[in-house]
Amino acid sequence: MSTTKTLSLLVLLLFVSLVHATDQCPFNSIYQFGDSIADTGNLIRTGPVGARSHAANYPYGQTYFHQATGRLSNGLLMIDYLARRLDLPFLNPYLNGNTTSSSFKNGVNFAVSGSTALNSSFFAARNLHVPETNTPLSTQLAWFKSHLRSTCQGPSSDCLKQSLFMMGEIGGNDYNYGIFQGKPMEEIRSYIPHVVGAITAAAREVIRAGAVNVVVPGNFPVGCFPIYLTSFPVKDPKAYDDKGCLKHLNEFAMDHNNQLQEAIASLRKEFPNVAIVYGDYYNAFQYVLRSEGFDKSMALKSCCGIGGAYNYDGKRPCGAAGVPVCQNPNKFISWDGVHLTQKGYRFMSKFLNNQILSQTKCSRA
């Protein structure tokens, strides 16, 4: 090859590498709100009840950290994979300590397992019990504002231009507390506008604080999860789809997601200069179900669990004495019947991260 051709090739390779290096927004921080799908250690720091939860004990964390960190999985969560994708360190939980410390310079995780979009008073008015550890979106937002006051010098809008906001997933527990305490589906369906309203209001608050990149995730197809399949079996085979998931529960999740997307569309009109991205967790999970990366015979069974067709028993959950863990979690999508394995979350992240980041607005310093 001639010297001229060699130089031309080197220039081309340099150009391609520069384009690749600049095709991603240079986010310097992530702010995560939500529940157990994203909690990296807040629940186990909420007090004695949280400290005694299964998330605080092995086998949670066994695959990646080799110890429990408060993540409800055997390893990494989607927020961990997102941080990796953005070349940022894993997010520390807000309750980890002094929020002005350097450990929070790349963002904060406010998510708490078991939390709701709505305040606890909503459930009390409907005779529903929620755990004392419930940390609804309103409380997580208060934490965020307190953090911002202590760390942001000058207008908060300047501090947050290169931050990515993850507003959940949240809302699933709002429905779970009704579903598992015997409320009829007609009543639980009436919660959807309230839940969507709370999520929308939270997104509006962070935007007014200066956020310009906000991701609002939808709900999972919960009819595919061992906890629901075990708790609400139906004799009629037509009640299940071709993957073995309960149709009526997935239709409920789609109803929530459709109303949420309508609310996001309205938010976009209200804030035309802000990237407000819908996180399609529903189809990301369906992608995982279709993937060849898992044992199809184990697709709807939990890795850490015991008993029944789905290897799940609510009275003997993962982490309880005598409850076994599968030998190879990489074959399973579900970790404990409620949350996914590290590999399940990795595959969901493969589907989501490009989709989400391609819709954000870059604000290059």
The catalytic site residues sit at 36, 336, 339
Strands lying side by side in the sheet with 275-279: 107-109, 29-33, 163-167, 213-217, 275-279
Mention every residue, 6+ apart, whose C-beta is less than 8 A from residue 140.
33, 110, 111, 112, 115, 202
Closest C-alpha among 227, 38, 221, 228 to residue 137: 38
Distances 149 to 79, 142, 159, 333 between C-alpha atoms, Å: 24, 11, 11, 40
CA angle, residues 12, 13, 18, in degrees to nearest 5: 100
User: At residue 228, what are phi and psi to the nearest 5 degrees?
Assistant: -80, -40
CA quadruple 31, 218, 228, 296: dihedral, nearest 10: -90
How far is the C-alpha of 57 from the C-alpha of 68, rounded, in Å? 5
Between CA 133 and CA 255 the distance in angstroms is 28
Counting Cα atoms < 13 Å in the Cβ hemisphere of 42 gives 28
Sign of the CA dihedral with 205 first, then 263, 165, and 249 last: positive
The pair of three-digit structure tokens given for residue 311, joined into one six-digit string: 């290897």
